[in-house]
């Protein structure tokens, strides 16, 4: 039962003594018959004094004279309540008494104890202390784990107890404290009556005690009280009270300021982390990527509070930082090099909620703007659409409305609104790319950035077009990009790509051919610092087109590899691995596989989803140990050149391969066009003739030599197709240990690391 407050005077007396005022508070506590309420009064006095004395602005917790005596008296009151309440009171006393150089171990222990007592006040104060600890720690002492993901809350708290501070532990503290502070501000905006757990925390933090509806100040000299008008304060005997309405208004303003300071502190710390990672050239680009995603998220949280406080200068500063975060988003999503995109952490980062927030918020801002989207804006929007999974349908709908005057882009976004087949999305993306004016002058940074965005669109078009063929070659980075975009359910939609018409496929391939010609002509316009990466990317695209779609792309690839203006910008090991055999003028899959291995971006054979078989077969060759694609078709071609001594090798090859190759004639999607289909059919017929001859003993050697020479004339155009089917044959016959030797008796091992994804592109395994 609370004591009856004395009648208030109209104005408080001007004289003030902290000692006498504190005595009056303790006297009121002694009068209280409720020990729990008495504890709350004394502890709140100790807390408010720690936060506001000596012109402190509410944080950090400071030591003051008489603190220990106050806490001791508070604990005496707590000892008369339940044991559970007493335990919580002891933890609160520890929290205040450890204000001078507390260990992070103590703080986390405090927080865990407060969680068992459901103490909003204790948890919030601990989180604020933990954030301070992170901000004061030297970044060189942070722990930078290789694996950023997979930590649960308990694991993160254990890391902090072991003083392993990191980006993950910092974000954990930010997220938890943000949740509490949002709940606090929302409480002040509704029916604040001082009765709820959050209400009581607000009062104790400000140093206010609810004495039967009279709100008594426990720290009248607090800075926030000085800003109140005299009419808001009244003398209640020895104590001073504050008008309730003015209290709520002041509390709302104080916590909005507190929220903005808290968010700015977090944002500044994240920026320091990003700069530290950049300066130290930290290898994990995913870590830098996530840092900027969090910066974007913090600024999104911060901006409304800065607007309410009319902090225009801070708004401008953080808007620049937000733009930097968006820039990092698209640079790291589509890096010129491949090492970043292939890491598991990068894939998980791109599938994270933070990444989804960045893409969603950026597009919402563009949609709300009055200006029409320019080519650069639309290219970035396309990149975000193509690279961010699980965007909400409302984003697509609003974006489509924004683009209603641009038919091509309107239709492209419409494929996501209507959730049409992947084939329709491919064809719509092709129309967008075809009608997009590619930047070639590179006058400024904006045009340079725009070109990178457009290249991402083109590379995705190449990936989907290759999958449409049914059996295709991609790089590991292409596959990593698909893993981000498609989950177990959405990957099944890829089967629709197999329905592409021959003329549609030919149109897209013609576009790629023209694009690469124009692209290589303009290489001298590219910035010097990007020239090597851009040239390498163009050559890799040409290799993939040749291997997947056959000989008609071989001439252009050979021209590129014979052009010193191009090869001078390629990595020496890659260039050496792709040196053309001058005698035969041949580039086969074995050469390309070895070259790609030098880039740490291995070549992969993909058998796409088909309507009758909802699975994706992926074959991967480890060229480091010379266990390449079992030499591909090169052993067959080599045997034909010396057919008189290689009859048994030719027969073994044809015994294995002819059934598969013959069945492929019934599947025209595996052949790029009608001309290639006709030549492939003739090749199979000639191989069947040769098979009939070599399986008889003795065979007619003159006829064998004649047929072999005829088949060899098709080598440059048919190598890619044969290599694809050889790999698929080996996948189907993986249990057979059959081997056949080349002329040098080199042993060709079974394809390593081959596996079959049953519809689920996932990142659960470490080796993915």
Q: Is residue 404 part of a domain?
A: yes
**Domain identity same for 447 and 501:** yes
Angle (CA) 176 182 188, round 5°: 140
Lowest mean pLDDT among 128-137, 295-304, 513-522, 622-631: 622-631
Q: Considering the chain, what percentage of its residues have pLDDT values greater than 70?
A: 79
- The three-state secondary structure class of 192 is coil
Let me know if residue 280 belongs to a domain: no
The token pair that represents 207 in the structure block? 């140093």
Location of structure tokens 């944002």? 267
Paired residues of 215 in beta bridges: 210, 242
Number of domains in the chain: 3
Helix (H) or strand (E) holding 5: none
Quick one: 71 and 117 in the same domain?
yes
H/E run at residue 509 = helix 502-521
In a domain, 572, yes or no: yes
User: Binning pLDDT at 50, 70 and 90, where does residue 631 land?
Assistant: very low
Distances (CA, A) of 192 to 186, 198, 199, 251, 507: 10, 9, 7, 10, 67
Q: Are residues 384 and 527 in the same domain?
A: yes
Under 8 Å between Cβ of 637 and 712? yes
Residue that finishes a domain, picked among 220, 251, 282: 251
Kindly state whether residue 479 falls inside one of the protein's structural domains.
yes
Query: Considering the domain boundaries, does residue 305 fall inside one?
Result: no
pLDDT tens string 478-490: 888 887 887 666 6
Which tens digit of pLDDT belongs to each residue from 45-84? 999 999 999 999 999 999 999 999 999 999 999 999 999 9
> Is 357:479 a contact under the CB 8 Å cutoff?
no
What confidence tier does 699 reach under pLDDT thresholds 50, 70, 90?
A: confident
The whole-number pLDDT of residue 519 equals 83
Cα–Cα nearest to 280, from 268, 288, 270: 288
Same-domain pairing of 686 and 554: no
Looking at the structure, do residues 646 and 565 belong to the same domain, yes or no?
no
Q: Mean of the pLDDT values across residues 606-627?
A: 52
Strands of 233-236's sheet, edge to edge? 8-9, 233-236, 239-242, 214-217, 208-211
Q: What is the pLDDT of residues 415-469, one digit of tens each?
A: 999 888 889 999 999 999 998 876 555 555 666 667 777 888 899 999 999 988 8
Give the domain range for residue 685: 630-750
Rounded Cα–Cα distance for residues 443 and 288 (Å) = 28
- Two tokens at 606? 């993909």
Does the residue 724 lie in any domain? yes
Same domain, 518 and 376: yes
Are both 499 and 377 inside the same structural domain?
A: yes
Residues 733, 642 share a domain: yes
Q: What is the pLDDT of residue 14?
A: 47
Residue 622 has pLDDT above 70, yes or no: no
User: Residue 4 gets which letter from DSSP?
Assistant: P
Give the domain-ending residue among 208, 230, 251.
251
Q: Are residue 92 and residue 202 in the same domain, yes or no? A: yes
pLDDT score of 26 more than 90: yes
Q: Which of 182-186, 326-330, 341-345 has the lowest mean pLDDT?
A: 341-345
Residue 767's pLDDT band (cuts 50, 70, 90): very low
Residue 606, CA distances (Å) to 471, 481, 544, 731 in order: 6, 14, 12, 12
Tell me: do 74 and 176 sit in the same domain: yes
How far is Cα of residue 175 from the mean position of the Cα atoms in its chain?
A: 18
Lowest-confidence pick of 226-240, 427-441, 661-675, 746-760: 746-760
Answer yes or no: is 155 within a domain: yes
Alpha-carbon distance of 677 to 138, in angstroms, equals: 65
What's the half-sphere exposure (Cβ side, CA atoms, 13 Å) at 62? 14
**Which tokens belong to 434?**
């075809």
φ and ψ of 619, to 5 deg? -110, 135
Q: Cα(184)–Cα(181) distance, rounded to whole angstroms?
A: 5
pTM of the model: 0.71
344 close to 300: Cβ distance less than 8 angstroms: no
Q: Do 180 and 50 belong together in one domain?
A: yes
pLDDT in tens, 223-256: 999 988 888 899 888 899 999 999 999 999 999 9
- Give me the count of residues in the chain: 768
Whether residue 695 is found in the same domain as residue 601? no
DSSP string over 716-732:
HHHHHHHHHHHHHHHHH
Cβ-based neighbours of 666, under 8 Å, separated by 6 or more:
none
The answer to whether residue 764 is domain-embedded is no
Boundary residue ending a domain (251, 275, 304): 251
Mean pLDDT across the chain: 81
- Give dist(CA 285, CA 335) in Å, integer: 10
Residue 551 pLDDT > 80, yes or no? no
Cis geometry, peptide bond prior to residue 698 (ω within 30 degrees of 0)? yes
* Residue linked to tokens 């000692």: 19
């Amino acid at each position: 039962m609370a004591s009856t407050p004395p009648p208030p005077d109209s104005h408080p007396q001007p004289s003030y003594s902290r000692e006498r005022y504190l005595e009056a508070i303790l006297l009121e506590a002694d009068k209280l018959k409720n020990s729990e309420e008495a504890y709350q009064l004394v502890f709140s006095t100790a807390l408010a004094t720690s936060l506001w004395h000596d012109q402190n602005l509410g944080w950090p917790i400071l030591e003051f004279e008489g603190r220990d005596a106050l806490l001791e008296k508070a604990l005496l009151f707590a000892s008369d309540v339940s044991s559970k309440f007493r335990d919580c009171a002891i933890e609160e006393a520890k929290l205040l008494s450890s204000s001078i150089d507390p260990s992070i171990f103590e703080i986390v222990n405090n927080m865990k104890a407060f969680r068992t007592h459901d103490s909003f006040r204790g948890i919030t104060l601990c989180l604020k202390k933990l954030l301070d600890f992170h901000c004061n720690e030297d970044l060189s002492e942070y722990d930078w784990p290789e694996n950023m993901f997979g930590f649960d809350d308990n694991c993160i708290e254990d890391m902090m107890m072991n003083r392993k501070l990191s980006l993950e532990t910092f974000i954990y503290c930010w997220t938890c404290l943000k949740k509490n502070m949002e709940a606090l501000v929302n409480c002040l905006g509704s029916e604040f009556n001082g009765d709820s757990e959050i209400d009581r925390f607000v009062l104790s933090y400000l140093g206010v005690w609810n004495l039967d509806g009279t709100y008594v100040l426990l720290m009248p000299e607090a800075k926030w009280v000085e800003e109140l008008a005299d009419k808001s304060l009244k003398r209640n005997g020895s104590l001073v009270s504050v008008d309730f309405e003015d209290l709520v208004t002041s509390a709302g303003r104080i916590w909005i300021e507190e929220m903005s300071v808290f968010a700015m502190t977090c944002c500044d710390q994240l920026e320091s982390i990003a700069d530290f990672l950049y300066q130290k050239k930290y290898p994990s680009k995913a870590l830098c990527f996530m840092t900027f995603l969090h910066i974007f998220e913090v600024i999104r949280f911060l901006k409304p509070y800065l607007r309410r406080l009319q902090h225009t200068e801070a708004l401008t500063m953080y808007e620049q930082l937000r733009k930097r975060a968006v820039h990092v988003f698209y640079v790291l999503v589509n890096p010129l090099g491949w090492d970043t995109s292939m890491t598991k952490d990068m894939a998980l980062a791109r599938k994270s909620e933070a990444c989804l927030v960045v893409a969603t918020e950026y597009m919402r801002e563009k949609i709300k703007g009055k200006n029409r989207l320019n080519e650069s804006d639309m290219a970035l929007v396309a990149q975000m659409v193509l690279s961010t999974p699980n965007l909400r349908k409302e984003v697509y709908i609003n974006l489509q409305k924004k683009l209603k005057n641009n038919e091509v882009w309107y239709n492209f976004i419409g494929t996501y609104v209507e959730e049409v087949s992947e084939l329709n999305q491919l064809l719509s993306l092709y129309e967008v790319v075809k009608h997009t004016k590619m930047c070639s002058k590179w006058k400024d940074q904006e045009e340079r950035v725009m070109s990178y965005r457009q290249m991402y669109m083109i590379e995705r078009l190449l990936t989907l077009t290759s999958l449409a063929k049914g059996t295709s070659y991609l790089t590991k980075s292409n596959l990593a990009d698909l893993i981000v975009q498609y989950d177990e359910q959405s990957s099944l939609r890829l089967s629709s790509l197999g329905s592409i018409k021959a003329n549609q496929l030919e149109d897209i391939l013609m576009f790629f051919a023209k694009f690469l010609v124009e692209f290589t002509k303009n290489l001298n316009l590219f910035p010097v610092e990007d020239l090597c990466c851009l040239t390498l990317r163009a050559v890799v695209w040409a290799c993939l087109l040749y291997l997947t779609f056959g000989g008609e792309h071989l001439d252009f690839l050979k021209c590129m590899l014979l052009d010193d203006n191009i090869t001078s910008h390629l990595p020496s090991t890659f260039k050496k691995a792709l040196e053309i055999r001058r005698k035969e003028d041949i580039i086969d899959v074995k050469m390309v596989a070895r070259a790609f291995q030098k880039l740490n971006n291995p070549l992969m054979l993909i058998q796409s989803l088909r309507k009758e078989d909802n699975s994706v077969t992926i074959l991967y060759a480890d060229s480091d140990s010379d266990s390449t694609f079992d030499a591909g078709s090169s052993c067959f071609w080599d045997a034909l050149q010396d057919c008189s001594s290689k009859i048994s090798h030719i027969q073994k090859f044809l015994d294995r391969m002819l059934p598969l190759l013959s069945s492929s004639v019934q599947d025209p999607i595996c052949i790029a066009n009608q001309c290639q289909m006709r030549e492939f059919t003739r090749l199979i017929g000639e191989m069947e003739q040769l098979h009939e001859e070599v399986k008889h003993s003795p065979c007619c050697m003159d006829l064998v030599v004649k047929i072999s020479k005829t088949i060899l004339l098709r080598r440059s155009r048919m190598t890619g197709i044969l290599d694809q089917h050889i790999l698929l044959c080996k996948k189907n016959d993986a249990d057979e240990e059959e081997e056949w030797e080349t002329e040098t008796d080199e042993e060709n091992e079974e394809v390593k690391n081959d596996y079959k994804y049953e519809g689920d592109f996932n990142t659960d395994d470490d080796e993915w």
